[in-house]
Amino acid sequence: MTQPFTVAIDGPAAAGKGTISKAVAAHFGFAHLDTGLLYRAVGARMLTGEDPIRAAQNLVAEDLDNPDLRSADVAQAASKVAVIPEVRSALLDFQRAFARRAGGAVLDGRDIGTVICPQAEAKLFVTASAEVRAQRRFAELQERGADTDFDTVLADVNARDARDSSRADAPLAQAEDAVLIDTSDMTIDAAVAQAISAVEARRAGDRP
């Protein structure tokens, strides 16, 4: 397959969209971009004192390799810089160019199907209850030895959901034509299978 085919996967934090996106990309041989890493990279640079708009304008690929991008502090910083219109604008062209590369691409984030790639050939919205997502994040943080508790993580999840959904510029929302996948009570294998099936259906529908 050489023609562009974009798969847009959106959803809140810890819903499983990253894992699903990687699996979908691997299954179809598409390139994958976790767009949240772009905002995390900007957030990480902001935490060092850099202006977030300047950080977004000067972002380089190496910034995405920062091992600290998965920390809780950077996650919160990413959500804060994501509400800044100038930051979103600076990262827009990069994401759209990646999406239309030959051979297909999977992008996951918060506004891929609604803002970044509204014409994506396939759109998925991956979600789960706040409690389930907080438990997943808490377990992940425990594995890393983080000093936190479930209530704090749940509060952070709820705060981030509120911030992501209420921001004026490109809020988190399910595109009207996106396939909903609720992973609250699903195994990851079942969720991946459902996602692959949804993308295959869209690909079949696009065939002449």
Question: Tens of pLDDT along 116-173?
Answer: 999 999 999 999 999 999 999 999 889 988 889 999 999 999 998 998 898 888 889 9
> Is 205 assigned a ligand-binding role in the annotation?
no
Amino acid 178: pLDDT: 97
> Is 195 assigned a ligand-binding role in the annotation?
no
Amino acid 208: pLDDT: 37
Amino acid 70: pLDDT: 86
Amino acid 207: pLDDT: 44
Per-residue 3-state assignment (H helix, E strand, C coil) for the chain: CCCCCEEEEECCCCCCHHHHHHHHHHHHCCEEEEHHHHHHHHHHHHHCCCCHHHHHHCCCHHHHHCHHHHCHHHHHHHHHHCCCHHHHHHHHHHHHHHHCCCCCEEEEECCHHHHHCCCCCEEEEEECCHHHHHHHHHHHHHHCCCCCCHHHHHHHHHHHHHHHHHCCCCCCCCCCCCEEEECCCCCHHHHHHHHHHHHHHHHHHHCC
Amino acid 194: pLDDT: 98
> Is 14 assigned a ligand-binding role in the annotation?
yes
> Is 128 assigned a ligand-binding role in the annotation?
no
> Is 104 assigned a ligand-binding role in the annotation?
no
> Is 113 assigned a ligand-binding role in the annotation?
no
> Is 36 assigned a ligand-binding role in the annotation?
no
| All structural domains of the chain | 6-202 (3.40.50.300)
> Is 15 assigned a ligand-binding role in the annotation?
yes
Regions of the chain with pLDDT less than 50: 207-208
What is the pTM (predicted TM-score) of this model? 0.84
> Is 12 assigned a ligand-binding role in the annotation?
yes
Give the amino acid at 158.
Answer: N
